[in-house]
């Protein structure tokens, strides 16, 4: 674990009122989870190839467009769980490109962070 990740783990904590929105990106895909750290539960998890996301992402041509659409869809699913405020955990990635696009999509979908 790098120093950056250790520092992030100390400061970014999700609660039941404000769960932690964790973003992971690989070379091909982007994953997102809502985590309640105190209850040790994953409230919602989604990635590009999940059954819910495939239909919504079929019009997106680039990975950045896919991550924006996934962020929007993720926010809609979180709203169904009565979650509107989250703590954004970019997982050590720079706030740029697909991570930024996902966050903008989630904000447009109705999440506050």
Parallel/antiparallel/unpaired status of strands 87-89 and 30-36: unpaired
pLDDT computed for residue 112 by the predictor: 94
List, for residues 17-59, the tens digit of each pLDDT value: 899 999 999 999 999 999 998 999 999 999 999 888 998 888 9
87-89: strand order across its sheet: 41-47, 30-36, 20-25, 87-89
| Predicted local confidence at residue 1, as pLDDT | 63
What residue spans define the domains of the chain? 17-109
> Residues near 111 by Cβ (< 8 Å), separated by ≥ 6?
21, 74, 75, 78, 83, 84, 85, 86
What global pTM score does this model have? Answer: 0.89
51-97 per-position pLDDT tens digit: 889 988 889 999 999 999 999 999 999 999 999 999 999 888 899 99
Other CB atoms within 10 Å distance of the CB of residue 78: 24
Which CATH number fits the domain 17-109, given the four candidates 3.40.50.720, 3.40.80.10, 3.30.420.100, 1.10.540.10? 3.30.420.100
Residue for token digits 């991570």? Answer: 99
Do 56 and 73 form a contact (C-beta atoms < 8 A)? yes
């Amino acid at each position: 674990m790098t120093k950056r990740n250790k520092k992030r783990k100390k400061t970014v904590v999700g609660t039941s009122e404000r769960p932690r929105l964790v973003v992971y990106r690989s070379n091909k895909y982007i994953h997102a989870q809502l985590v309640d750290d105190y209850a040790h539960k994953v409230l919602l998890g989604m990635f590009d190839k999940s059954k819910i996301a495939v239909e919504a992402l079929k019009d997106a041509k680039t990975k950045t467009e896919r991550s924006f659409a996934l962020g929007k869809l993720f926010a809609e699913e979180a709203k169904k769980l009565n979650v509107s405020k989250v703590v954004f955990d970019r997982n050590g990635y720079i706030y740029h490109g697909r991570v930024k696009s996902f966050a903008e999509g989630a904000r447009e979908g109705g999440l506050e962070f």
